[in-house]
Structure 1
Amino acid sequence: MNANDNIKIDDLKKPYFVWFEENWVHDDVLHHHQKGQLVYVESGFQYITIDEKIYLLPQNHAVWIPPNAVHKTNSHSEKIKLMIMFADIRTKNSFYHKINVFSVPPVLKEMIKYAEKWSKQMTPDHDENLFLKALFNELPRFVEHSLTLHISLPKDQRLTKVIEHLHHHYRDEIKMDDLSDTALLSFRTLERIFKKETGLTLSKYQQMLRIIKSLELLSAGHLTISETAYEVGYKSVQAYTRSFLSVMQFRPTDFIKTIQ
């Protein structure tokens, strides 16, 4: 998990394990655990790849990663505070077997912060078990405002250069027809393959990249909504707000409230 520690999660003989880091450093390798895990970003922001989809985890948000889901950390802000909590999952409740990214409500935030006292405790603890059992039991009820925002990574090698171009030039005005030359495919064929692989059209994919990047910038807290809009390629705050609303189903101002 962490480049500075050698804790083997699946070898631990306890149902729960808490791991808090002031400045998380990940080894960026795909892996999985038999336990499910809750990852909470106290400050900063984190990108996580889970089952070939990239999710953004903004400040004051958490992700539930089901048992055995293949995942890795992609990149993150310079300084990030992470709390990771592992749990043996025996229930068939569907919540615990799918990915959920959500803003953390005040009650859950306080519970997570309280659990920091057990960080990296290797031996079983009765009080820890009771507390974390209650936390994980209530987890489905805390997830009211899920962020379903993610982008899929296509497997088709013909799309590699197209994806690279979109990721490097998402803020620019891209003529989508020109991308067919990059892929050496007709535009019609490119659009068909791209949508099959990612679930999105080329223009929608660019929009998702812009919104994801804007969430990252808003989480960092250095730019206003207006500055963020221009930074990710929108010509006006109104255009950015419309785009944000269509993707997220809420406004940038609502998002700001979830990270404060």
Structure 2
Amino acid sequence: MGNPKKILNMDEVNKPYFVWFEDNWRHDDVLHLHEKKGQLVYVESGFQYLTVEGKMYLLPQNHAAWIPPHALHKTNSHSERIRLMIMFFNVDTEDTFYHQIHVFSVPPVLKEMIRYAEKWSMNTTENNDENIFLKALYNELPNFVADSIQLHISLPQDKRLTQAINYLNTHYNEDLKMEDLSDIASLSLRSLERIFKKETGLTLIKYQQMLRIIKSLELLSANEWTISEIAFQVGYKSLQAYTNSFQSVMQYRPSDFVKSL
């Protein structure tokens, strides 16, 4: 999608499924939604940030996101090179799975199915073989998403948190004193913690941990540093502390992620 205006509004594509694959994909950083279609976004290489309904997600390499219809979203990436594979599906079922966002590690079978579907990329005419294949993929998504992860950060709406969030986002790798954050936000520590948890669903400490893990995934995807170097870059004092934190969030070790690249 080097130029998103190459194609009409996706809801105007008169076919139930549509495949769009492109190297070095770029999209304008604008919130938008699709009335009828859900979409599967697969990152084959690089990494992609995704904002959906006020939450920011990171899609590392070999991960995918299911975005339901009507979900306000935008995508952007800082990767020098990225290969995205995107599929759109008419959602004609009340099954709650298809009306929720899912971010997950893509299993080998689904990866091969996505790659096979590349032959229909940008095909605007309806094709029976394409319909049969993509309907099967669509129907199996709930089974493929068994390893869904909660790798996201809610973006708070309360303006009182703006300065504290900005500070956390730029100083996540430092040892933060919560009292300093309350001073920055001009709130008592108790009020800051209460409002922050209500807005993001996370404590301040957990939010910092998520920032560190998300940033480390970005660095791991670049394949330019050792795991130990990345651990220290994102603020951990030992490789073991980083590995434990990573595993608690991702359910697997950093070395497992590197092997999948």
Which TM-score bucket, shorter chain as reference?
A: over 0.9
* Equivalent residue number for residue 156 of structure 2: 154
* Equivalent residue number for residue 18 of structure 1: 19
| Identity between Structure 1 and Structure 2 (%) | 69
**How do 1:108-257 and structure 2 match up within 5 A?**
108-257=110-259
Check whether the contact 2:45–2:61 (CA below 8 A) recurs between aligned residues. Answer: yes
- Unaligned runs of 5+ residues in structure 1 are none
Residue type of the partner of 1:173?
A: D
Q: What's the C-alpha RMSD, in Å, of the aligned pairs?
A: 1.3
* Equivalent residue number for residue 3 of structure 2: 3
* Equivalent residue number for residue 86 of structure 1: 88
**Residue 55 of structure 2, aligned match among 53, 56, 76:** 53
Q: Which moved more, 1:16-25 or 1:218-227?
A: 218-227
The 2-side partners of 1:132 and 1:224 are apart by 39
**Residue 67 of structure 1, aligned match among 39, 60, 69:** 69
Q: Which moved more, 1:214-223 or 1:52-61?
A: 214-223
Note the alpha carbon deviations across 1:76-125, whole angstroms, 9 max, x for none. Answer: 31110001000001122221111111111111111111111111111111
Check whether the contact 2:26–2:77 (CA below 8 A) recurs between aligned residues. Answer: no
TM-score normalised by the chain length of structure 1: 0.96
Residue type of the partner of 1:87?
A: F
* Equivalent residue number for residue 29 of structure 1: 30
The 2-side partners of 1:12 and 1:22 are apart by 22
The 2-side partners of 1:117 and 1:5 are apart by 22
How far residue 15 of structure 1 moved from its aligned partner, in angstroms, is 0.2
Structure 2 SS opposite 1:76: coil
Flag the 1:4–1:247 CA change in 2: closer, same or farther, 3 A. Answer: closer
The 2-side partners of 1:113 and 1:242 are apart by 34
Check whether the contact 1:2–1:27 (CA below 8 A) recurs between aligned residues. Answer: no
Structure 1 SS opposite 2:210: helix
The 1-side partners of 2:41 and 2:162 are apart by 30
Check whether the contact 2:2–2:27 (CA below 8 A) recurs between aligned residues. Answer: yes
The 1-side partners of 2:209 and 2:166 are apart by 15
How far residue 2 of structure 1 moved from its aligned partner, in angstroms, is 5.2
Structure 2 SS opposite 1:59: coil
- Unaligned runs of 5+ residues in structure 2 are none
How far residue 22 of structure 1 moved from its aligned partner, in angstroms, is 0.6
How far residue 130 of structure 1 moved from its aligned partner, in angstroms, is 0.9
The 1-side partners of 2:246 and 2:236 are apart by 11
Structure 2 SS opposite 1:87: strand
* Equivalent residue number for residue 101 of structure 1: 103
* Equivalent residue number for residue 77 of structure 1: 79
Note the alpha carbon deviations across 1:14-52, whole angstroms, 9 max, x for none. Answer: 000000111101101000012000000010000100110
